[in-house]
Structure 1
Amino acid sequence: MFLVNKYMDTFVESLNNNTETLTKKLLEIRTYDFSPEIELLDFVVFMDQSSFSIRMFTMDRDNNEVFKETEDSVLFAGSEGIVSDVEISHISDEQLDEFYSFYEENEEELASKEEKAIGEWFQNCWKNTVVESLNLPSYFVFHDAMKSFDLTAWEWIDDDEKWS
């Protein structure tokens, strides 16, 4: 039997197990020489019921991704995986049906708690690595969400605000 609190304990443990990976990648990003056409960085979380990934996109203020002009350019532009396929539930094949039923019954509560946990985890890693040295406005957002976390102002904003 699955319980919300037990599931969330496992979820947070998975995040903690990936802190070093995220921290190393954020430290690496600090060293990038970004293309001058880039006006903001967008760190986007892609989730499903068993895993999530975070990808960084280099964007302009018109909500267009900025790409490298040429492959031999030393300036960074484009998108890049930050963490990939972080497993958030360790479910055996025999438990899959029971787990999906549990998740469906508790989806609203679980999704909210998962997003809060991932957001706090990312923000803590960001605070410990990037905040003072990156000179581009940067945002953390869940794919297709209406809110973004402004990593400079340290607050949630309507997603449209970052494009103005």
Structure 2
Amino acid sequence: MFTVDEYLASIKTNLAQHTDVLVKNLKTIAEANFAQDVELLDFSAFIEPSRHDLSIMFFSMDREANEVFEEEGTPGFAGSKSVLDEIVYMDVPDDRSEAFDVFYEEQEETLFEEEQRMIGEWFRSCFEQAGGATIELPCYFGVHDEGQTLDLKRNVWMDEEEKWD
């Protein structure tokens, strides 16, 4: 039998194993000089629930929700890069996968909301450890296509559209 608390504890344990890698990759971004057209930094988690894995990409953006790309002769970084390659955030033994699927279906709304919050909090902690507070641009984290984003500077969840204002 699975419980919500056990599920969330497992995610926390699995994420913690990847903290050092994420902090190291975020330090590179925190130390970067960005191209003048870059107006905000957007970090997106891509979650694959059926495989229980996630990856995180970084995008340099303008306020029109367009990715800013590096142009020849323009100083500073622009573009996108992976800050965390696919990692398993939840281990489910093969012999328990059917029982887990039933559990997840019954609790899906609560679990996904808690997963998103937990991943966001972990990411924000890593961002702070990496010196993210020194970045002068607004910085956001969210799960791709989920509508909510975490303002990494203010530690506030908000509607994703608000970051473009």
Letter in 2 for 1:7: Y
The aligned counterpart of 1:136 is 137
Question: What SS does the corresponding residue of 1:84 show, helix, strand or coil?
Answer: strand
Letter in 2 for 1:23: V
The aligned counterpart of 1:12 is 12
The aligned counterpart of 1:51 is 53
The aligned counterpart of 2:124 is 123
The aligned counterpart of 1:3 is 3
Identify unmatched segments of 5+ residues in structure 1.
Answer: none
Asked if the contact 2:38/2:62 (under 8 Å) is kept, the reply is yes
TM-score normalised over the length of structure 2: 0.88
Letter in 1 for 2:89: I
Aligned residues between the structures: 163
CA RMSD, 1 decimal: 1.8
Q: Distance in 2 between matches of 1:111 and 1:78?
A: 29
Letter in 2 for 1:67: F
Q: Distance in 1 between matches of 2:159 and 2:91?
A: 34
| Structural mapping, 1:22-101, within 5 Å | 22-49=22-49, 50-70=52-72, 75-101=76-102
1:129 shift after superposition: 2.2
Letter in 2 for 1:123: R
Q: Distance in 2 between matches of 1:128 and 1:14?
A: 18
Letter in 2 for 1:59: M
TM-score normalised over the length of structure 1: 0.89
